[in-house]
Structure 1
Amino acid sequence: MKTPPTIIVLGAGRGSRYTGARHKLAEPLGSDSVLKLTVSNALASGLPVVVITTTHFADDVADLVAKRDIVVLDQGSGVAPGGMGDSIAAGVAARPAAGGWLVMPADMPLVRPATMVAVANGLGPHPVAYAQHLGRRGHPVAFGAELFSELVRLSGDEGARRVLARYPGLAVEVDDPGVLLDMDTEADLASMRARVAAQLPVRP
């Protein structure tokens, strides 16, 4: 049986663009926090999940995932030592035998579990696959196992941009607006809360 890709939930960022009273991942959304809802949806996909986070948030997801599936990047400061590249590299290094990796930003809690599965299934002939809604590119982005050596060397804030520029990607069109909705502002949070209240966002 083919080894499935692992979802890497990126929850170690500073969230410096968000101006609310608390870190954006701690903001309540429905009955959970933004971070917990993202992780819960990833788990609901049935794919393996590893959460990259900081000491500050590790306890928040400890009731959802096993300790071995939580990678803490800092030494207790609550701030990641690097950027998205460091987080992706840490997740890939934590699961070197995975059949690929889906990069899922933790501030995108409305992405449906079925969407993650669809993007994971897009790997194969293509080393990269990504979610697309109404022709607009979104997340998650999946990378094939053959890209391990490049992904594990990522660092800084650029993320996997150079890898994406080098390899052809498959656009997986999905009926899921959540793939385009991240949370950088309080207005983004208000919009997400309205969707949750209207029972619009997450369905298997």
Structure 2
Amino acid sequence: MNRTTPSARCAALVLAAGQGSRFGSDKRQAQLDDTHTVLQATLARALESFDRVYVVLRPGDDPSTLGIGSRVRTVHAEHALDGMGASLAAGIDAMAASDAHAVAVLLGDMPWIAAATLTTLACQADQQSIVLPCYRGRRGHPVIFGRRFWPALARLDGDHGGRALIEANPHACQVIEVDDPGILHDIDTPGDLQRH
């Protein structure tokens, strides 16, 4: 990727520390296609659009067992069992020393977002904004938080993600319409693997 592009200033943070209890097994390792698991596919898509990709894992997770390559920086969230907010805070803490202007928060069980969508969103990012994708009137993922909002994200805990921060800062939100239903589709059950 050309590192002079706006997307080079935005890093990706993939949250993959949840329990996924509705799936019945570790959905991160569920086979999505002939070559990728769910998590591998999500990370591969992120690597197409971002120079820096971080993934948040559970304590004790072995990145090699999950098929995570060396280009991805791993973060182990000590309090991952507390919920998404705790995982997001751990990821933001790990990124604090980076020079990124913004972070795209992706979910590890959303492998169908188009790389072009990720690049479009990343190019809209700046330090002061929250960028939200929208498909046919429905908001989806990833949400991109400018660096101004990182201290608040780092204080999250429990199962509360960034929604309250979005609601409290409507003036900072940029809603970007995209032609990509993948921003809405996550994997909760084995049947969801057949969606595409």
- Tell whether the structures are fold-level matches, with TM greater than 0.5: yes
Structure-to-structure mapping, 1:1-204, within 5 angstroms:
4-19=9-24, 22-30=25-33, 31-54=35-58, 55-59=60-64, 60-66=66-72, 69-74=73-78, 80-96=80-96, 97=98, 98-124=100-126, 127-168=129-170, 169-191=173-195, 195=196
Q: How far 1:149 moved relative to its partner? A: 1.2
CA contact (8 A) 1:127 1:167 kept: no
Percent identity over paired residues: 35
**Amino acid of the residue matched to residue 33 of structure 1?**
T
CA offset digits 1:151-199 (Å, max 9, x no partner):
11111101112111111221111111110100112221221xxx2xxxx
The two structures, once aligned, show a CA RMSD in angstroms of 2.0
Give 1:6's aligned amino acid. A
Q: Contact 2:12 / 2:104 at 8 angstroms: preserved in 1?
A: yes
Letter in 1 for 2:92: V
The normalised TM-score by structure 1 is 0.83
Mapped to 2, the partners of 1:130 and 1:187 lie a distance apart of 27
Is the CA contact (8 Å cut-off) linking 1:9 and 1:50 kept in structure 2? yes
Task: Give the 3-state SS of the residue equivalent to 2:144 in structure 1.
Answer: strand
After TM superposition, give the deviation of residue 43 of structure 1 in Å. Answer: 0.4
Partner Cα distance (1:53, 1:65) in 2? 15
For residues 172 and 126 of structure 1, the distance between their equivalents in structure 2, rounded to whole angstroms, comes to: 16
Q: CA deviation at 1:140?
A: 0.3
- CA distance in 2 between counterparts of 1:33 and 1:171 reads 30
User: How many residue pairs align between the two structures?
Assistant: 184
Contact 1:7 1:102 in 2 (8 A): yes
Residue in structure 2 matched with residue 198 of structure 1 by the alignment:
none
For the residues of structure 2 that align with 1:16 and 1:123, how far apart are their CA atoms?
33
| Counterpart amino acid of residue 134 in structure 2 | Q
Which SS does the other structure have where 1:92 is aligned? helix
Q: Secondary structure at the match of 2:143?
A: strand
Shift in alpha-carbon separation, 1:160–1:125, aligned structure 2, 3 A: closer
Q: What TM-score, normalized by structure 2, do the two folds share? A: 0.86
CA contact (8 A) 1:58 1:72 kept: no
Q: Which runs of 5+ in 2 are unaligned?
A: none
AA in 2 matched with 1:65: R
Gaps of 5+ in 1: 196-204
Are the counterparts in 2 of residues 128 and 141 from structure 1 also a CA contact under 8 Å?
yes
Q: Is this contact kept in 2: 1:47–1:117, CA < 8 A?
A: no
